[in-house]
Chain A
Amino acid sequence: MPERPPRSIKILATLPLNILLNGVLIVPFAIMIYLAFVKWSPLMGINWWEAPFIAISNFQRALSDSRFISALSRTALFVSVVVPLEFILGLVVAYILQSEFIGKKYLVALLIYPLMLPPVVVATVFYLFFQPYGPVNNIFLYYIMGKRALDIYWFLDPTLALVTIIIADVWQWTPFMFLILYSGLSAVPKRLVEAAEVLGASKWRIFWTIRLPLIKPLILIALVLRSLEALKVFDYVYVMTGGGPGTATESISLYIYRLAILYQDISYAAAVSIIVLLIIMIISRVAIYFFIEKR
């Protein structure tokens, strides 16, 4: 292909994208930075471009805001529990499904349908699941603990509430890990596996010394992307626990949502957003460099 793109292609490939991105995302990005350094709320009755300048007091307030700090740390805890759990479960099922058996194709199709559900639907399902008279207490635990099962109020106990969120996320996103690992493992060239077989390696040894190392880059990508996705958790928390009891399960996304919508504290919400943005950008830049670009 000619090195320099012909003019018509160059325009088609850059102009529309720039219009869309600048118009919809980059301008608001600039506004956010402006808002973070002013004091404004719709309740003040003035337009946001006339708001008084207050330098970095929003940021100072954020750094000393315990609710913000605990929301951040809680989200981090959530991610550090959910992602490894999903990886291990996904790996176990992917390893198991390596051996050929009839109907495997349908089983794989069946196991991945949670990926396709809107998160708000999954949240609804588990909201109903963990109700006092819902199936968890009424059927499963009843079978184990008898009558006392009905007294478990999942959404009123801080740790139990967080557990329900974790279960919902693991239920929906383990198939994501499984799907990546499974397609990675089956994409390993058949010749390599056959060569190892002929050299006398057992099925287990082939998995550990051939299949797994070859999909290492894939695993890293899956972990990085899954962690970034898990940081966004909102639907489950908003629908199932509403951040409750109290603010025991409030994720950072829900906190920013509340600041902007409930308390209408726009400029402070902007500042908090920028801090979160910076933290995640730095972490993802390091993670992408360390995991993906090293590949």
Chain B
Amino acid sequence: MKLSILPKIIIACVIVVFILWTLTPVLWMISLSFKPYGEWRTPHLLPQKPTIDNYRMLFTPQALQIFIAYTAIIEPVTGPLTRSLIVSITATIIAVIIGFFTAYGASRYNTPGPFVLFFTLLTRMLPPATFLTPIMVYFTTLGLFDNIAGLILLYSATTITYAIWIMKGFIDAIPVEWEEAALMEGAKPLEVLFKVVLPIARPGLVVSGLFIFLMAWTELLFALVLTNVNAVTLPVQISKYVTAVGALWGTQAAIALLGSIIPVIIGYMIQRHLVTGFTFGLVRA
């Protein structure tokens, strides 16, 4: 066996191992979500008698009573699902709009000043837990506790960092000469912003928007703190199922799967820009 084949084999093995390591957990969860109660503890991978009971149970929680003592999760999953959608979409729109203007100012004139920009980075770098206590007190005082408006405000403020830095990357990529040419051709500064920069930076808006949606959709800690019954979002509902006492394996797998379909789709839509997003535009893929 020629020596040069050996490294190729090693590489192939490492890749196969890594693929297995990445795929098995989620594949197993998918198969579990289609297994009836009897098969939850059996060792075989694929369900013998596949069923969609687990999913049906999510939408009719009364059926759950026979399994669990604690019934805090009475609500059908459609509630948290729609609330999560509303919160994420609205927060994204607010953050992207404000983020676009701030990014343009930062990119061309570094208007908001280095401290403000560093503060926005800081809000993203520090553990959210350290902000948890005052946010809870402050939002309760304002009457925003257990109210999705509170979550919307909070999420747009905490994710605006992504909007600013990702958009700044896209706007920096636009040569300044293009704006200067428009300025000389009679466009006033605001017209330059909306007629030249906005159309060219539109992909940036889409990418930062989708990225912010991803962040808002997957957030758990603040959602737990700020919601009780009326504003429960999907991640909170998932955590309720999983921490509920009782054998709920199948339904737990089902709701977890439900919660990950949308983010995975969005993730693949902006796959090329994930690096830019996660590193606040410091690293441009």
Q: Are B126 and A5 in contact (CB under 8 A)?
A: no
Residues from chain A with Cβ under 8 Å of B105 in the complex: 5, 9-10, 12-14
Known: A21-B119, A31-B137, A120-B259. 14 other contacts (CB 8 A): A1-B109, A13-B102, A16-B101, A17-B102, A116-B263, A120-B218, A120-B235, A124-B238, A126-B25, A127-B252, A135-B45, A180-B275, A257-B225, A280-B127
Q: A174-207 vs B: 1/0 string, CB under 8 Å?
A: 0110011001100100000000000000000000
Residues from chain B with Cβ under 8 Å of A119 in the complex: 218, 220
Give which listed residue, A13, A171, A256, contacts B133 with CB less than 8 A.
A256
Residues from chain B with Cβ under 8 Å of A261 in the complex: 136, 224-225
B85 CB to nearest chain A CB (Å): 14
B35 CB to nearest chain A CB (Å): 11
The number of chain B residues touching the other chain, given as a range, is: 35 or more
A247 CB to nearest chain B CB (Å): 16
Q: Are B225 and A138 in contact (CB under 8 A)?
A: no
Which one of B256, B268, B274 has the greatest number of beta carbons of chain A within 10 Å?
A: B256
Residues from chain B with Cβ under 8 Å of A176 in the complex: 278
Residues from chain B with Cβ under 8 Å of A166 in the complex: none
- Is the C-beta of B153 less than 8 angstroms from some C-beta in chain A? yes
Residues from chain B with Cβ under 8 Å of A218 in the complex: 283
Q: A1-40 vs B: 1/0 string, CB under 8 Å?
A: 1001110111011101110110111011101100100000
- Is the C-beta of A142 less than 8 angstroms from some C-beta in chain B? yes
Q: Are A21 and B268 in contact (CB under 8 A)?
A: no
Q: Are B259 and A281 in contact (CB under 8 A)?
A: no
- Is the C-beta of A93 less than 8 angstroms from some C-beta in chain B? yes
Known A-B contacts A9-B189, A16-B102; A180 and B134 likewise in contact (beta carbons under 8 Å): no
Secondary structure class of chain B's binding surface, majority of residues: helix
- Is the C-beta of B29 less than 8 angstroms from some C-beta in chain A? yes
Q: Are A270 and B133 in contact (CB under 8 A)?
A: yes
Q: Are B109 and A128 in contact (CB under 8 A)?
A: no
Name the residue on A nearest B95 (C-beta).
A20
Which residues of A does B touch, CB under 8 Å? 1, 4-6, 8-10, 12-14, 16-18, 20-21, 23-25, 27-29, 31-32, 35, 48, 92-93, 96, 99, 107, 109-129, 131, 133, 135, 138-139, 142, 171, 175-176, 179-180, 183-184, 187, 218, 221-222, 225, 228, 231-232, 234-235, 238-239, 242, 252-254, 256-257, 259-261, 266, 269-270, 273-274, 276-277, 280-281, 284, 292
- Is the C-beta of B132 less than 8 angstroms from some C-beta in chain A? yes
Residues from chain A with Cβ under 8 Å of B120 in the complex: 17, 21
Secondary structure class of chain A's binding surface, majority of residues: helix
- Is the C-beta of B160 less than 8 angstroms from some C-beta in chain A? yes
Residues from chain B with Cβ under 8 Å of A133 in the complex: 40-41
Q: Are B239 and A28 in contact (CB under 8 A)?
A: no
- Is the C-beta of B135 less than 8 angstroms from some C-beta in chain A? yes
Q: B74-104 vs A: 1/0 string, CB under 8 Å?
A: 0000000000000000000010011001101
Give which listed residue, A20, A115, A266, contacts B157 with CB less than 8 A.
A20
Q: Are B129 and A111 in contact (CB under 8 A)?
A: no
- Is the C-beta of B199 less than 8 angstroms from some C-beta in chain A? no
Q: Are B157 and A24 in contact (CB under 8 A)?
A: yes
Give which listed residue, A13, A117, A129, A179, contacts B112 with CB less than 8 A.
A13
Measured between alpha carbons, how far is A28 from B45 in the docked complex, in Å? 49
Q: Are B224 and A257 in contact (CB under 8 A)?
A: yes
Q: B258-285 vs A: 1/0 string, CB under 8 Å?
A: 0110011011100100110011001101
